[in-house]
Structure formats: structure tokens, C-alpha cells
Chain A
Amino acid sequence: MFRNQYDNDVTVWSPQGRLHQIEYAMEAVKQGSAVVGMKNATHAAIAAVKRVPSELASYQKKLFAIDEHCGVGIAGLTADARTINNFLQTECLNHRYAYSRPMPLSRLVGTLGNKMQVTTQEESGRPYGVGLLMIGFDHKGPHLIQIDPSANHYECKGMSIGARSQSARTYLEKHLDTYQATQTVEDLVRHALRALRDTLTNDQELSSKLVSVAVVGKDHPFQVYDDQLVEDLISEVIKEPRATVRPAQSTFAVQAEDLMEEDTNRPPPPDPEVAVALDVAVHRGTNP
């Protein structure tokens, strides 16, 4: 394929109608460690795997408060995430200043989406290399929203991004009705921890050093729970038998043809298949 001819610029379409720079940016999200999110009728929770660059360093922070009623978990380029977080925090502050109430989540992600879209259409920049799972609570209830470098945002009932997140998504699809129906924060968080556990490699196990959890909900301002605060829930979950780490193909395997359909009702697209950038098959001619 002519992949390497059309992928240097975000302003250049490929003959297949793709913007490869955006897809490459989405690959950057997969480089980050996993974040899992889910919600029930009153609360939303996210859990993340904290990565440590080296024994000497402290871990990379994954979960950030944006305002009292919302926060995000990030996967990908941390510096890009910081810029986005500052933007989100400022938007929420300005909204509160003007209206003396928390900013509705739909509006917040709308303004972020507009800002991110600019980077997918201008030559002078590049798309943000970070994916976010935002959780929040507003007058419409709890929300879980996925935002990716393509500037798309999706309201979700459960979602996972980052390395090996497909396994967590499998858990989320399988147990959708169960965690949606949970009545307590602890039950919801336990589900999040179980889903997160499926993203770990065989030599890793859940521990308070490895995991960060954040919760927001009705009468529950956004708060990150680290270290000791999640220890009890973790110690319960690790007693349970571990699901085998599933391979990349999930029960909702999508055929290649489906990727090309214009169907706005279909579920969020699975990871795009990435061809090797330096594809050696060169052939002249107009036939793509």
C-alpha cells in the first residue's frame, strides 16, 4: 500500500480516505498503561495502572481532578495530557465563575473536542497523543466519556484504553448488566479492579502501588484514591481467581469490511489495524 506516501502530514488524505497521522496518534494511546472506567446509576469510577519508569523514580500520575464534579484518566503522551487538563480546568473554572454551578459534562467535552479537532486539520501542528477517560456527575447523572486523539468523544457505559485494554473491554462487555446494577461505590470499584486486572501481564498483580482509583457521583466529589485507601478493595479482589489474559481478538471481532461502512449507530470502532509504516510493496500506477 502507499501508506508511507500519505502519512507525513495530518492534512493529507490517503487513497483509502484515512488520515494516517490521526491513526498513529491513536497508537500513542496504546503505549500508555491501561485505564478502565465504568458507571452505575449514581456513580462513575476509573482505575488505572501506574507505571514506574525506574526503581528510582516515582510513578506516573494517571488520574487527575478537573473540578469537583469531574476528573480524567489519561493514557499516552503525558505532556499533551497536561495541556488538555489545564484547558479542561480553566473551562470549568470560567463556567463556575459565570454561572455559579458546575459545567455540564456534555459541554465540557464539546469544547475540548472542538479544540482537538483543529489539530487534525492544520498543518502547523499534530494531533494530541493522548486518550482520556473522563468521569463526572452533573444534572443528568453520572457520565463516562472516552476522548481520543481523533477529537471524537463517546459516552460509554464502560470503557478501557491503553496497553492490553482489549482484555478489560472484554470484561466490561461481559459484565455490563452486573456493574451497571451495582448499588454501592465499593461494588463498582471492585468491578473496575477486576477489569483492570485483566490488563496486567502474568507477572504483575494488583497492588496499591500499582493501581490508582478515582470515583465521582451523587454527593461524592471527584476524588483519587491511592495507596492505602484502595488497599482493602484490592486485597479482596486479588483473592479471586484470575481470568486468563485473553488474546487480542475479542468476542466482538469485527470484519475488515465493517470498518469501511458509514454507520453512525455502530459501536465505537475497535483498534485500527496498523500496517508496517515502511511497507516495501511499491508499485507505480493509479490503482491504489
Chain B
Amino acid sequence: MGDFSPYDDNGGTVAAIAGQDYVLIACDSRLSTGSTILSRFTPKIYPLSKMTVFACSGFHADVLTLIKNLEVRMKLFIHEHGEEMSTKAVMALMLPTLYGRRFFPFYVRPIVAGLDRDGKGLVASYDPVGTPEFFDYVIQGSGENLVHPFLHNQIGAKRTLSDVPVQAPPGLTLDKAVKLLKDAFLAAAERDVYTGDTVTLVAMTAKGTETMEYQLRRD
């Protein structure tokens, strides 16, 4: 019993890119524990509302519970205010939600992504206790160290030496972003044992939401 840990890491990678008029979220679908695969198809993207999506890897039980908590908060907001929570409000809510468990954290690496009221893309990532990062592209999870340098090179390369927050260039179209994230996950699946099986991409624009799925390496 001395070896008991309340946590497990079920692996997986999530990423998101914010554009001028779109937001693109991607996740793999593998759940693992140690060197065992638990599931080949558990995508890590969870819609919270028409405008906002939650993507999260880490300890799956904590991910599911966190989502339950957020869904209750989303409904309470609608009951009290008569409208859905904006993406920015959800992003703000993540900090007290995660920090409230500062002394027994949710073992999660979440991303909140969505459109603001004008249709502009927004993404944010958090550490397990709520530290936010509001960059235009974010990656979390077991494949983070593989994907991050790739996206940084392809999207944010011109700002590596300055303190300006990392921003996607205005001309980054949704099609280009889809190609980039798809390639990023294909690359992550090559080298990260905990990432693989399928990659799901969700593209949100003012016109609606589109979901794409591609096969990844299953080894």
C-alpha cells in the first residue's frame, strides 16, 4: 500500500491554433497506462458550448471530473444570465477551478479553445494548477516536446528572440493550420509511444463546426 498513488498518467496529446476567423483543435485518441494501451479511441476534445471546446490530456479520471464540473458551471451560467458563457469567461474560470485544488491538483493538461463573440479564434493552455498561457497556438500532453518545436518553427518563427507574445501570422489560413496540425500529430505518433491511433481535428468558424479524423500509427 505504500506504493499507492492517487494519480495515473493516461497520456495523449492535444493542440490548438487560433486564427483570425477560426480556431482549430486537435487531439489524439489513445489512452494508456504505463506501457499498456487502455483505449485506441478516446478522443480528448469535449465541447462545452456552441462557441467553446475543452481539450485535455493527463489523468483521465481527473479530466472527466473536471469536465463534469465545467458542464455544471456552464449550465448555472445559462440559468443565471440567460445566455451561454463566452469563451473568454470560460478561460477565466479555469484558474479558480484548477487552483481550488491547489493542494490535491487535477492531474491534467487542459486547453480551452473557441471563438469570441466576433468570430475570432482564441486558445489558452493551463498547467495543472491553473497557470494560463494565452498564445495563438498551444500544445499539451505527452507529445508536447515533440510538437512544440515544430509549430514554433512553422508558425511563430519570426518572434523567437523577442518578448512579444507568440502569435500566429495573420495570413495563417484554416487549411494551412489543418495541414500543420495533422503533420504535427503524425510526427508525434512516430516518436511518442503514448500518442497514436487516430487524430481528431475540430475546426470552428462562425459558419459552424467541422470534425475531421485521420489514422495515426497504432504501434
A67 to B76, CA, bound (A): 10
CB contacts between A and B, total, < 8 Å: 16
* Chain A residues whose CB sits within 8 angstroms of the CB of B71 once the complex forms: 96-97
A41 interfacial by beta-carbon distance below 8 Å: no
CA distance A67 to B79 in the complex (A): 9
Which A-chain residue is minimally distant from B64 (CB atoms)? Answer: A100
List B residues 41-71 near A (Cβ within 8 Å): 68, 71
**Binary flags per residue of A71-104, CB closer than 8 Å to B gives 1, else 0:** 0000000000000001001000100110010000
- Asked if B68 contacts A97 (CB within 8 A), the reply is yes
B75 at the interface (CB under 8 A from A): yes
Complex interface residues of chain A between 155 and 200 (CB less than 8 A to chain B):
none
Set of chain A residues within 8 Å of B72, measured between Cβ atoms = 93, 96-97
Secondary structure class of chain A's binding surface, majority of residues: helix
| CB < 8 Å neighbour of B79 from A89, A96, A100 | A89
Q: Please, how many angstroms separate the alpha-carbon atoms of A96 and B71 in the complex?
A: 9
Per the bound structure, the CA–CA distance linking A100 and B72 in Å amounts to: 11
Bound CA–CA A89/B79 (angstroms): 8
Closest beta carbon of chain A to B119's beta carbon, Å: 24
Determine which residue in B71, B75, B76 has the highest number of CB atoms from chain A within 10 A of its CB, and name it. Answer: B75
Determine the chain B residues whose CB is within 8 A of the CB of A93 once the complex forms: 72, 75-76
Q: Which of A222-254 contact B (CB under 8 A)?
A: none
CB closest chain-A residue, reference B78: A65
| B100 CB, min distance to chain A CBs, angstroms | 16
Least CB distance from A87 to B in Å reads 12
Which residues of A sit under 8 angstroms from B79, Cβ to Cβ?
65, 86, 89
CA distance A100 to B65 in the complex (A): 11
Residues of chain A within 8 A of B75, CB atoms compared: 67, 89, 93, 96
Closest to B76 in A: A93
State how many angstroms separate the Cβ of B38 from the closest Cβ of chain A. 20
Chain B residues lying within 8 Å of A67, measured Cβ to Cβ, are 75
CA distance A93 to B68 in the complex (A): 10
Contacts of B76 in A (CB 8 A): 89, 93
B68 contacts across to A, CB distance below 8 A = 97, 100
A240 to B194, CA, bound (A): 68
State A145–B72 Cα separation when bound (angstroms): 25
Least CB distance, B9 to chain A, in whole angstroms: 24
Q: How far is the CA of A100 from the CA of B79 in the complex (A)?
A: 19
The 3 closest A-B pairs by CB, nearest first: A89-B79, A93-B72, A97-B68
Given contacts A86-B79, A96-B75, A97-B71, 10 further A-B contacts (CB under 8 A): A67-B75, A89-B75, A89-B76, A89-B79, A93-B72, A93-B75, A93-B76, A96-B71, A97-B68, A97-B72
User: Can you identify 16 A-B contacts, CB atoms within 8 angstroms?
Assistant: A65-B79, A67-B75, A86-B79, A89-B75, A89-B76, A89-B79, A93-B72, A93-B75, A93-B76, A96-B71, A96-B72, A96-B75, A97-B68, A97-B71, A97-B72, A100-B68
Interface of B with A (CB < 8 Å)? 68, 71-72, 75-76, 79
